[in-house]
Structure 1
């Protein structure tokens, strides 16, 4: 986390300087387009293989300055999550996991051109800063637990009884009977929101061979905070607030495509 913070503060400092008000002559320039719409996939240090997705709408103010709004949806995982396989059933589950977290992040911000590409080719570099609320949607993590009655030799003496339940390290202490993880949205009826806030700073490297189409990558730093810890995992004998965090930092990369008008 310390590395993420150092990287983030340095990036934000650079971006704040680059987003300073443009010179008077730049303010009078007319951009070649007025609006831009992009969407893409996100990779980040708090997510899985693919962190999530985003859409962004940008409105050009001058040749070098723009404002934007965006919506990002990503999965946030606990850094101590550990996948465990049941040696008897082959089922896989995450030890101690209580909730899956999907975070909705609406953002507004400003963007400035740092290096402009040639009209029909090359790479353009933009700097942006943004902020907004974060809504963590906590989805209970379900497992299949085997309640089948067995004799002293572990042989079933009743009809098979395997139930889908929210995983509880206190209730489901015998790992051998954790049959497998249940489908992702098994606990959708118990979805709980938790509201926080975030701030981001990033650089975009944009390639556009045609004036009305864009493709690029955005790389940056995000800091997120909540009023209380976000409950992701639990463990016997350890308070929840010692295992779970209120503050999250991440470095991210978003690959996007879009269009201009």
Structure 2
């Protein structure tokens, strides 16, 4: 993430003089929409997708409504493979997937507006809303054969109390298995970001957004676990993120 924010500051420094030289103008667009793809410090690449809709309130402020769907990982997750080369890779100790659905409302403050057919627009985005955390069991393929010669593979949720021998884990199960065993946690999230919009035409939206997301659920969510119980899980998640977006204005 250091590289990401170094890139953002360099871009901002390069864009600022040009943005300051542009004059603020009134245009005929009153609505905008954007689709985005996220990279987050707690979610990998890609970590999520979002849709955002904006409506002009004043010359400098837009009202925003949006929804994001993102995956959240434990910071200690490591992908490994069965030492005998059997099966696919898996995350040892992973008990659950966590996906967050984030409806939100916020404000988009335009700091520097781009000219009608050129330049860069710089915005500050502040948004908040509920978080719906969907918790799905992490499925593995476990070998129950008594002699280890003739495999007896069973797909089931990982349980450190049962699956005590990592050498018998042949790999992860199907991502689509276990949805019927999932449950839900409720929470809240807050987003603060800077948005850099580029593009040849005012009617198009293309750019990058960099910011921070704070999220808290109503209970601790177990993502990773070992037999000793030494792995810590949390109900609160913080992330730095970078998103690439595209859309348009009407």
Question: 3-state DSSP class of the match of 2:178?
Answer: helix
* Contact 2:38/2:45, CA 8 A, preserved across alignment: no
Note if 1:248 corresponds to 2:244: no
Question: 3-state DSSP class of the match of 1:210?
Answer: coil
RMSD after superposition: 1.9
Give the C-alpha shift of residue 74 in structure 1: 0.7
Note if 1:121 corresponds to 2:118: yes
Q: Distance in 1 between matches of 2:56 and 2:198?
A: 18
Note if 1:95 corresponds to 2:84: no
Unaligned runs of 5+ in 1: 8-25
TM-score (norm 2): 0.86
Structure 1 equivalent of residue 108 of structure 2: 111
Structure 1 equivalent of residue 81 of structure 2: 85
Q: Distance in 1 between matches of 2:146 and 2:110?
A: 67
Q: Distance in 1 between matches of 2:199 and 2:59?
A: 16
Runs of 4+ in 1 over 4 A off after TM superposition: none
Which of 145, 151, 174 is 2:142 aligned to?
145
Structure 1 equivalent of residue 66 of structure 2: 70
Unaligned runs of 5+ in 2: 6-23
Give the C-alpha shift of residue 90 in structure 1: 4.8
Larger Rg: 1
Number of equivalent positions: 228
Note if 1:132 corresponds to 2:121: no
Note if 1:35 corresponds to 2:31: yes
Q: Distance in 2 between matches of 1:257 and 1:91?
A: 35
Q: Distance in 2 between matches of 1:209 and 1:84?
A: 46
Q: Which of the two has greater strand per residue? A: 2
How big is each residue's C-alpha offset from its partner over 1:50-106, in whole Å with a ceiling of 9 and x where there is no partner? 111000000001111110001011110000112221021153211110101111011
* Contact 2:107/2:126, CA 8 A, preserved across alignment: yes
* Contact 2:115/2:202, CA 8 A, preserved across alignment: no
